[in-house]
Chains A and B, each alone.
Chain A
């Protein structure tokens, strides 16, 4: 039965409503005016007007990652679409489900270098999970619904739908609801082969020094992913580490949690990874920030790798037992097999393993000393954590040292509380992401832990935050340097600080005030707690400029190209362990 007559733009809105979308992040322009017109005439979907299209994608990412839903973006053709590219790449790298609608010049002008024409499907092909150019209104409803399916299932990612203006204005009665659309080829595997589950539990039962290494895949598997991971790890009594993307998938205050691993991970997590005899990787991808030098990566362990994406298997590290499937389903199957088999870990071996881990933990690798008036950045972040931990808090970050300190000093007890740009490392992510998070969780405390350099990359979004009165808190760890760049220059480039000083910074207090927000600046450690408390208690957006010491480095650090055991624990360490030439070429 044919549906009622609608134009393409109305069909777009109808599809969004049928997909359960309640908010989209966007910016108008000529090619998408029909959609803006249709938006104007309905009340189901709220539109958040960002100030640059890059902000729209990050906002949608924050929304998606903090809710488990799909983030939806609407931008115009040409520059609207090209501005969205960084966010799309970011979402691809971090497996965030996004549907991005881009306007396009009318079909008969495509290829003519028309005004605001860009080859959007060509440009976004490598930075999306999939993309579509709609050339016939008859395909529009199917493509809309397919895009949501593709973005969300399997390994999630961004999907672009390029919408020529004539398609948006054309009329048709071809609308079909989501239930009637089934993708022709795309069927991700979510359940593991039972024989692999059997093999996995046998390997676990035989382990003497096991460790769980859990990543963003656990969070993408929904709340059940984290719940099951926590239950299984606790049942076994084994240690668990998280990747940057996986923080919150295992409760950080649990004694079995050994902290984040990788380049700036804890001593105990990295040494446990190096020395384990069984590694159980759930939803992580052996990223180079995690493995360090590959030929020295956990050389004596048997490796199980659970991933929903078969291309993650054996990409960087060869594993012994690959298991393709959804993290939650695999964990559930493993736990059932474990219980039914009546397995138990070798308790004596486990005890010895833990006493070794406790020895490493006793190094207290995140220790620092806060003395006097000047605020250490670690102290600023730790106080921010202490004063917000008992609240309903969500944290986003920009990229740099402050991001790593936030990862180190915040303890995330649940999934979806931590939003950071992991794979792409996009400065400018945190502020718009916080906007998206705050829109999804209006009454929660949402903080963007920022650097003074990163925050300037999408500072225009303060205007968006002001417009919608989103009470986001921007906590700028202001070291007056592109600190992470400065750190690498100090350690790898003979302390030649080329172009890494943050000069001509704005007065952040006045800047905030100019947007009608509250601005605060803290320069004295003695004032810090009180001022953070004041920020928290302010029911409006706040920009908090926290002046910190300028020459602090992030430790521990595994320099690029080094092995886990070659970690630098502090400034004293660096002289003894020069960085190899091979390591220098790595990023």
Chain B
């Protein structure tokens, strides 16, 4: 029934908005109302003086849908600028995860050893648990979390992706 959903691509889009009430709801409502995917969404104020917030959305769809998403975002009145970080040249994207692992003995040692390999830091610990903090690409976080699964994984909290273009130019 549905049109051939081949060529699905993933994009990271940065959106610079006025930090006004409801702006996040507007962006999220746009995605849910029009049936677009949100794989991850982060938002925070980035310029207190100018009152700008920056939203980073990771989304997926056909190239036509992705163009629609960008045009629809740009159409929102409080949106200043958007940038397709995936398409407009190289970009750095990062995510932070806090991962809680509980256990004792061999498993506990193993979790610490893996954390070391992944350059995760211990930010909280007791005799029977660790909280690791790890920053990296999302897929690297996925792998780390997977590896923690059999070692007593209790809880995961992730920020979602933030991204910025490489090179000297800004948004």
Contacts and interface: CB of A to CB of B under 8 A. Distances in A.
Interface string B16-36: 011001100110010001000
Interface stretch (B74-82, B106-114, B163-171): B74-82
Interface stretch (A73-81, A268-276, A312-320, A342-350): A312-320
B72 interface: yes
Given A126-B33, A314-B64, A314-B68, A582 B1 contact: yes
A126 B74 contact: no
B67 interface: yes
Interface in A431-483: none
B26 A125 contact: yes
Q: How large is the interface on A (under 10, 10 to 19, 20 to 34, 35 or more residues)?
A: 20 to 34
Contacts of A368: none
B15 to A, nearest CB: 11
* Most interface-central of A133, A150, A315 (chain B CB within 10 A): A315
Nearest to A188: B75
Given A126-B33, A313-B71, A582-B1, A185 B25 contact: no
Given A309-B75, A310-B75, A314-B64, A184 B29 contact: no
Contacts of B26: 125
B11 to A, nearest CB: 16
A184 B18 contact: yes
Contact of B64 (A131, A133, A184, A318): A318
Given A125-B29, A185-B78, A185-B80, A311 B22 contact: no
A311 B68 contact: yes
Contacts of B18: 184-185
A41 B150 CA distance: 75
A129 interface: yes
A186 B17 CA distance: 11
Contacts of A131: 22
Contacts of B71: 310-311, 313
A315 B68 contact: yes
Contacts of B72: 311
A582 B1 CA distance: 8
A379 B33 CA distance: 42
A129 B77 contact: yes
Nearest to B25: A125
B49 to A, nearest CB: 13
A186 B77 contact: yes
Contacts of B17: 185
Interface in B69-102: 71-72, 74-80
A122 B25 contact: yes
A489 interface: no
Given A186-B77, A311-B75, 12 more contacts: A122-B22, A125-B25, A133-B22, A184-B18, A184-B78, A184-B80, A185-B17, A185-B18, A185-B78, A185-B79, A309-B75, A310-B74
Query: Can you list the 9 inter-chain pairs with the closest CB atoms, starting with the nearest?
Result: A311-B71, A130-B77, A185-B80, A310-B71, A311-B72, A186-B77, A311-B75, A126-B33, A125-B29
